[in-house]
Amino acid sequence: MKKYLLALTLLAIAIITGCKKTAVESVVTDDLSVTPAVAYNVTDKFVPGELLIKFKTGTSEKSRIQTLAFINGKVSQHLLTNAMQYAGDNDGIYLVKTDTDVFAAIARMKGESEIEYAEPNWIYTHATTTNDTYFTNGQLWGMYSSSSPAGSGDPVNQYGSQANTAWAKGHTGSSNVYVGVIDEGAMYNHVDLADNFGNPNEIAGNNTDDDGNGKVDDVNGWDFVNNDNTTYDAGGDDHGTHVSGTIGGKAGNEVGVAGINWNVKIISAKFLGTSGGTTANAILAVDYLTGLKTNPNVAKRLNIVATNNSWGGGGYSSGLSAAIERANTAGILFIAAAGNGNQGGKAINIDSKPSYPASYTNANVIAVAAINSTGGIASWSNYGKTSVDIGAPGVGIISTVPGGYSSYSGTSMATPHVTGACALYASTYFATKGVYPTAAQIKAAILDVATPTASLSGKCVTGGRLNVSGF
Ligand SMILES: [Ca+2]
Ligand SMILES: [Ca+2]
Ligand SMILES: [Ca+2]
Ligand SMILES: [Ca+2]
């Protein structure tokens, strides 16, 4: 454990300093494919000495132990989530520690008939590129429209999400619509967020798992980094707080910002810590939210329409793809940042060089590129005619951070505009039709009305930017 923490600490130092010598090994490309179609990138980071292994159904414990002995592997965690079991998988995934080289161990495991898959425990980091100086009110361009709604006197920006046009029609979201933020934690008691967080099936502070999901007092979500119910830990969590404010910052309270939704409920699934997050915890985070929507123990399950995923890194993971598919089955969209270049910051075409999780091909994924306030695609925003779906405001975005507000840039900031759009569409659709739209209907609604944008032409599926004016 100490060794593991040391490795993560060194990684954090490496990320901060940009130092090339990291404790986390890089991977040589080409000869070690996860699947025939996918190769690891040289810059992909993973936890040294750890593998995620799924055994084929019916493999006995004795047989598992014998197989793991080939790599001197010891099970350190059995990942068996409610969402897996509801989906009929009672075997789960094993996080295995080995003193063998991870890729040699994977190659060895792949030769065994008991193994369904074996893969690295990738490390993901969030997708902000810059942290600009503080901005005051009135510069929230991502929420503006091409023209000022009648009588509003609102500022105008044609490249904004057009959210204030929807608001002018009284479409401001609903507290019956839920969104999961898979990220760092968030300062849920921030003045602009306090009304828009919470799991109503869980009673705070009674040391009881009221909703029977295996998590005690998870009123605002769960912290998979520290395995506790304090999703906000002072000193960090600014990225998760920023993302949350764009989705659901409280409006009309004369302070700070307004989110795409004035009313919504956000649940944190915290898996990014100061050193990033792992595949194992990403799977747990995705499944946690799926479990809240499919929990058979409560009368009123949480109506989660989408998760926000402003993070990336690593290579393909069968385990994470399967978790995203369980979310898909539960009708939860997975909104993913296209990513900010390939480590060095230069944008890449992820059609030819996949960036995960944006590049997963599950039907519920919407991958988002970033545009600036004059309509250009950000110089660092990844793109891809088939792998990226849409552009959204991602440069100079003001939102909530612990203790106030700040302006950030990144595909991290573009993504919550789209996640917020999912929730807004769901709430308006319900208000007019009396039923909630399916995930496929929400995705189609968002992609169908994208505004054609020169800088995005040929760079994403829609060739356009987010436009929620009709939501
Ligand atoms: Ca609980
Ligand atoms: Ca409780
Ligand atoms: Ca915590
Ligand atoms: Ca506000």
What string of DSSP letters covers 399-465?
Answer: EEETTEEEEEEEHHHHHHHHHHHHHHHHHHHHHHHSSPPPHHHHHHHHHHTPEE-GGGTTTSSSSEE
Instruction: Name, in order, each residue with C-beta under 8 angstroms of 235's C-beta and a sequence gap of 6 or more.
Output: none
Q: Tokens in use for 161? A: 């999400």
Distance (angstroms) between ligand 1 centre and the Cα of 212 equals 5
Report the C-alpha gap between 16 and 39 in whole angstroms: 27
Give alpha helix (H) positions in 269-313. Answer: 279-294
Residue 225 is classified by DSSP as T
Which residues are within 5 Å of ligand 1 (an ion), measured at CB?
Answer: 202, 209, 211, 213, 215, 218
- Least distant ligand from the CA of 227: 3
Neighbours of 66 (CB within 10 A): 13
Q: Return the CATH fold of 19-121.
A: Alpha-Beta Plaits (3.30.70)
Distance (angstroms) between ligand 1 centre and the Cα of 49 equals 32
Distance (angstroms) between ligand 1 centre and the Cα of 309 equals 22
Annotated active-site residue in 126, 171, 239, 417: 239
Confidence at residue 125, expressed as pLDDT on a 0 to 100 scale: 75
Distance (angstroms) between ligand 4 centre and the Cα of 257 equals 4
Confidence at residue 126, expressed as pLDDT on a 0 to 100 scale: 67
Neighbours of 2 (CB within 10 A): 6
Report the C-alpha gap between 146 and 156 in whole angstroms: 6
Distance (angstroms) between ligand 4 centre and the Cα of 393 equals 19
User: Same CATH topology for 19-121 and 128-465?
Assistant: no
Closest by CA position to 292, among listed 220, 192, 186: 220
- Least distant ligand from the CA of 211: 1
- Least distant ligand from the CA of 203: 2
Distance (angstroms) between ligand 4 centre and the Cα of 332 equals 27
Please say if 183 is a catalytic residue.
Answer: yes
Residues written for the chain: 471
3-state secondary structure at position 57: coil
pTM, rounded to two decimals? 0.82
Model pLDDT for residues 320-354, shown as the tens digit of each residue: 999 999 999 999 999 999 999 865 568 999 999 99
Please say if 321 is a catalytic residue.
Answer: no
Please say if 412 is a catalytic residue.
Answer: yes
- Least distant ligand from the CA of 140: 4
Cis peptide before 416 (omega within 30 of 0): no
For residue 109, CA distances in Å to 38, 64, 140 come to 18, 11, 51
Rg, C-alpha atoms of the chain: 21
Q: Checking DSSP bridges between strand 263-270 and strand 221-223, what pairing results, if any?
A: parallel
Annotated active-site residue in 44, 154, 183, 192: 183
Annotated active-site residue in 412, 427, 455, 469: 412
Q: Would you kindly state where each structural domain of the chain is located, as residue ranges?
A: 19-121, 128-465
- Least distant ligand from the CA of 229: 3
Model pLDDT for residues 97-146, shown as the tens digit of each residue: 999 889 899 999 998 999 999 999 988 876 543 232 332 345 899 999 99
Q: What parts of the chain have a pLDDT lower than 50?
A: 1-42, 128-137
Answer for the pair 123, 314: CB distance below 8 angstroms, yes or no.
yes
Q: Return the CATH fold of 128-465.
A: Rossmann fold (3.40.50)
For residue 5, CA distances in Å to 9, 12, 102 come to 6, 10, 17
Answer for the pair 326, 83: CB distance below 8 angstroms, yes or no.
yes
Confidence at residue 10, expressed as pLDDT on a 0 to 100 scale: 33
